[in-house]
A and B are shown apart, each in its own frame.
Chain A
Amino acid sequence: DAGVIQSPRHEVTEMGQEVTLRCKPISGHNSLFWYRQTMMRGLELLIYFNNNVPIDDSGMPEDRFSAKMPNASFSTLKIQPSEPRDSAVYFCASSSRTDTDTQYFGPGTRLTVL
């Protein structure tokens, strides 16, 4: 079975540019999570969706960040405009309704904003 798929795996962009990160959760999973990991702050939950509906976006740093889940098999995290302090690894994870405690993480997108 395919795990969580994220693209791109690496992204280097310049300050002010728009960045879009993509995620495909495991088929059949109904919850999707976006995390950010930095050395300073560790792994932080940004937002999560249940059945494609955003449930908790309290971790989204500011209005420059937005996330969508138009269907059960796809989600995007957009940063516009990007800033150097957004440089981090962004993970997407999914879980099923029968095992809400176990989250399966994608390989992450390593974002560098110059």
Chain B
Amino acid sequence: RKEVEQDPGPFNVPEGATVAFNCTYSNSASQSFFWYRQDCRKEPKLLMSVYSSGNEDGRFTAQLNRASQYISLLIRDSKLSDSATYLCVVNRDKLVFGAGTILRVKS
């Protein structure tokens, strides 16, 4: 079983839709949590950190449930430019990346 599990997708959604990604992690010692975004043939870039209290950055909302070892990312009002692979990442003295969820936003 992988330490960080994500649905690979692809999620195909129309512009303006709301889409949610989920991720589970197996190591309860994980200390901090993130979503990274990776565009096709580019490097991963930090999208946002994830806190138990939930955090929002514009159209993006991330949530952490430590008890269930579950992380989520919600994207509202999807834009074409949101098309990318979203990587769920946990930090337990080093970053461990999920395989990513592919999002395709269509006009």
Contacts and interface: CB of A to CB of B under 8 A. Distances in A.
A53 interface: no
A101 B91 contact: yes
B80 interface: no
Interface residues of B, number: 18
Nearest to B4: A42
A24 to B, nearest CB: 14
B43 A42 contact: no
A53 to B, nearest CB: 15
Interface of A: 33, 42-45, 48, 56, 91, 101-103, 105-108
Given A42-B99, A101-B32, A101-B34, A91 B94 contact: no
Interface of B: 32, 34, 42-46, 49, 87, 91, 93-100
B43 A108 contact: yes
Contact of B97 (A42, A106, A107): A42
Contacts of A48: 94
